[in-house]
Amino acid sequence: MTELKQIIENLVREPVLADEPMSRHTTFRVGGPAALYVAVSDTAELAGVIRACRAAGVKYYVIGNGSNLLVRDEGYDGVIIEIGKHMGMCTRNPGTDTITARAGASLAMVAALARDEGLTGFEFASGIPGTIGGACIMNAGAYDGEMKMVLESVKLMDEDGTVIEEKADRLGLSYRYSNIPERNLIVVEATIALTPGDRETISARMKELNARRMEKQPLEYPSAGSTFKRPEGYFAGKLIQDAGMRGYTVGGAQVSEKHAGFVINKGGATAADIWSLTCDVREAVLKTSGVILEREIRLI
C-alpha cells in the first residue's frame, strides 16, 4: 500500500489518506478505516487512480457523499475513491433547458442552480443529501419525483478509464435501481432535462419539501435515510411500526421513534449494531406481516 500511495499521490491534487476512518465520510458516522482514501478532482485523475489500483492488484470502491452507505467496522482493505465536491461543477447548457453536472455535484447545488435558472422538475431532489453520481446509481427519488424522470444522459467510465456517453433509457432505471454498478461503470457526469418555470414557485416548492423532511425525518441524528426499500403495496416504516419495532435498539443503533423507516446512530453505534438491528427488524416484519424487507443502504 505504501508504494501505491506514492503512485496515487503523483496523480491527484488532494492528499491521499492512509487508514482513514470511514466514519468521517458516511452520514451514519460509522465505519472502520479505508487502507487508502482519495478524493479525485477530474476524470483524468479518476482514470489514473483506477489504472494504478488495477496495476497494483488492489481493489477500489467509488463513493459520493456516503449518504447511503454502511461501512463495516473492520474497514475496507483497498482504495476508497471519493467523487465529491472536488469534482462538483454544474452548469446550464446555453440555449437549452438542460443542466450538466459533474458526478460529485451535490443534489442541493444542482437544485439551487435549476431554481436560479428558472427551471422546474428537480425540486424533489433538493433535500436528498447525495451527489448526482450517487443519485444516478440509486435512481434517487422523493415526493413523486425520481432521477428517471429528468435524467437525459450520463457519461460513464469503465475499468480501463475510457469514458462513454449513454442515454438514460439504457440504464434500466427503476425503483432505487440502475444497471450501472453491475456493469462496473462509474458515473462521471450527468445531464438532466428540465422545463421552464417560475422562480418563486420553484423556490416555494423546495422550501415546502424541505420543511416536510424536517418535520417527519430524524435529521438531528446521523442516518442513511430510509434503511429499507418500499415493498410493493406497503410502506416500510408502517410495517416496522406494526411489528412493534419503533424505538428498538441494538447498542448505539435505534429504529427512529420519529420515523420508523429510519435507523439512526443515537451515539457510538457500530456498523455491527446497525447490521444486527436491521436483521432483527427484517425478522420481526416477516413474522408479523409476511413481507420481506430489502435493504436500501449499500454495504461495504
Ligand X SMILES: Cc1cc2nc3c(=O)[nH]c(=O)nc-3n(C[C@H](O)[C@H](O)[C@H](O)COP(=O)(O)OP(=O)(O)OC[C@H]3O[C@@H](n4cnc5c(N)ncnc54)[C@H](O)[C@@H]3O)c2cc1C
Interface residues with ligand X (CB under 6 A) are: 27, 62-69, 83, 103, 128-131, 133-135, 137-138, 140-142, 186-187, 217, 219, 223-225, 298
Active site residue 13: no
Q: 37 is written with which cell numbers? A: 482514501
Query: What's the rounded Cα separation, in Å, for the pair 186 and 189?
Result: 9
Nearest CA among 87, 92, 88 for reference residue 108: 88
Residue 107 CA: distances (Å) to CA of 45, 96, 189: 23, 20, 13
Report the residue number, 61 or 118, with the smaller CB distance to ligand X.
61
- What is the smallest separation between the CB atom of 210 and ligand X, expressed in angstroms? 11
Active site residue 176: yes
Query: What's the rounded Cα separation, in Å, for the pair 189 and 132?
Result: 8
Q: Which of 23, 178, 226, 256 is catalytic?
A: 226
Q: Which of 45, 82, 146, 296 is catalytic?
A: 296
Report the residue number, 33 or 141, with the smaller CB distance to ligand X.
141
DSSP H helical ranges for the chain: 2-9, 43-56, 107-116, 132-138, 147-150, 199-216, 236-242, 271-289
- What is the smallest separation between the CB atom of 298 and ligand X, expressed in angstroms? 4
- What is the smallest separation between the CB atom of 21 and ligand X, expressed in angstroms? 16
Report the residue number, 64 or 197, with the smaller CB distance to ligand X.
64
- What is the smallest separation between the CB atom of 187 and ligand X, expressed in angstroms? 4
Nearest CA among 230, 282, 223 for reference residue 254: 223
Report the residue number, 63 or 239, with the smaller CB distance to ligand X.
63
Radius of gyration in angstroms for the set of CA atoms belonging to the chain, rounded to a whole number: 19
Burial 181-197 (b: 16+ CB within 10 A, else e): eeeebbbbbbbbbbeeb
- What is the smallest separation between the CB atom of 221 and ligand X, expressed in angstroms? 9
Report the residue number, 135 or 250, with the smaller CB distance to ligand X.
135
Nearest CA among 154, 105, 145, 151 for reference residue 129: 105
Q: Which of 92, 176, 230, 298 is catalytic?
A: 176
Hey, which residues are catalytic here? 176, 226, 296
